[in-house]
Amino acid sequence: MNTPFYKYGAFGDETSLVVAFVIGIGFGFFLERAGFGSARKLVSQFYLNDLAVFKVMFTAIVTAMLGTTYLAWMGVLDLSLVYLTPTVLWPQLVGGLVLGIGFVIGGYCPGTSVASVATGRLDGLAFVLGLPVGTLLFAEAFPWIRGFYENGSVGVQTLPGVFDLPYGLVVFAVVLMALGGFAGASWIEKKFQPR
């Protein structure tokens, strides 16, 4: 969140914590204002009658991608300072599946559950309390699942690298995909609106 300012020495550790706190409060505020602190709003995604979550997430991805791209091209951002999580294929697929199933069953992801707790929702509190419990269970089980956890490591991967395409072309393709996704989402919402 604080990159590149923190990496360039614009501020120290203490200030970076304050900046992260302010960004977090702002993020939670806008999640709640968009209605994403409500499990009903989030679950509407899976009934296909309100795809606001899809639209917001894709907008965030494209905005961050375009911002990163233009800042790098202008020489403001050194992409080598941006940390990329290494790809460990099978554990990340299973983790995504577990998160997705939890999202469908309960209606929250980690961020939206915290926003819901801030407004007093008890179902969100169940999710927030489940985070440390799940973390503890994972830590206790880690010696037995370590082999799987490290299985399928392919290092840091990016779309331009995987497809051997120029960075700008991939950015352009993702923007086109987003525009198509928004149009498709609007069509689906109209089709699945309750009558």
Q: What is the SS3 string spanning 130-167?
A: HHHHHHHHHHHHHHHHHHHHCCCEEECCCHHHHHCCCH
- Tell me what pLDDT residue 170 has: 94
- Tell me what pLDDT residue 142 has: 95
- Tell me what pLDDT residue 90 has: 92
Low-confidence ranges of the chain (pLDDT < 50): none
- Tell me what pLDDT residue 141 has: 96
- Tell me what pLDDT residue 147 has: 92
- Tell me what pLDDT residue 80 has: 81
> For the segment 148-193, what is each residue's pLDDT rounded down to a tens digit?
998 888 999 988 999 999 989 999 999 999 999 999 999 999 998 8
- Tell me what pLDDT residue 45 has: 87
- Tell me what pLDDT residue 103 has: 86
- Tell me what pLDDT residue 2 has: 56
**Are residues 116 and 37 in contact, defined by beta-carbon separation less than 8 angstroms?**
yes
- Tell me what pLDDT residue 4 has: 61
- Tell me what pLDDT residue 76 has: 82
